[in-house]
Structure 1
Amino acid sequence: MKITQLKTWQVPPRWLFLKIETDEGCYGWGEPVIEGRAATVEAAVHELSDYLIGQDPHRIEHLWNIMYRAGFYRGGPILMSAIAGIDQALWDLKGRDLGVPVHQLLGGAVRDKMRMYAWTVATAQATSALAPKRWSRKVLPPSK
């Protein structure tokens, strides 16, 4: 299996989503963004794609090191956000390919339940920009 392309979508007002695809039809999703800098992070993702195309997506740590060590200047919020989103997408891809949730790939569940927080605005714009049949859910704290 080889990575064939990285696709990005900017969703108003400030989100960036990434889809990594392979020659076998597998894919994974990530969110490589810094608030207010989606276009800049998107450019970094596309620059990093040169290191990923043709590579085995299951070698996640190897690819992370290639991306991080590829340039003379390392770190910083833009580059690390791009790498983080790619990392998310690679783990998602691997989990989908193996048919297991990502938490199993990372050592297994450590809790039976957990609290969540999500915040969003402009949901009509976001919903129309994302693929059909992808939905968000409102999660409320447990009743006491």
Structure 2
Amino acid sequence: MKTAQQWIEALDLQPHPEGGYYRQTDLSDDQYNKPDRSLPLYTNIYFLLTEDNPSHFHRLSSDELWFFHDGNPLTVHSLTPEGAYTETTLGLETNQHLHHTVPAGTIFGSTVDQGYALVSCAVIPGFDFSEFKLFTKDDLLKTYPDHSDIINKLAYDTLPE
């Protein structure tokens, strides 16, 4: 098994604003037309997270499909629009999944308890930073006060610049 740094170098991954490291691998030539803009039909990235560099809470306006490739288990933490908290673990062991879909509008982040995890993430319709929203602890604690432990772990105190 490679190290996180070996994957970062081999795949030419760069820091992502939500945390972790990524590189876009696919961008559809076809477009999905929304009332106010067009998006690529789909996009795909390699995404690597470490125990010290999680994916912080954010929301997309499209579905995101996660596919596990290498490393240790990764947990996707989701806050639904209805106020529920769920977690799904990606990995190779019993009760873990090789893939997971995060529905559009869900606030989510991801953690790795030890080492790193390498996944691919496909967004349909495609990812655009204009439809990506990061959250602070204050933003989320107002709406989800019952989930303060995970919010304090995965939401920023202040948003990165």
TM-score in terms of structure 2 length: 0.24
Answer 1 or 2: which has greater strand percent. Answer: 2
Q: Which has the larger radius of gyration?
A: 1
Answer 1 or 2: which has greater helix percent. Answer: 1
TM-score in terms of structure 1 length: 0.26
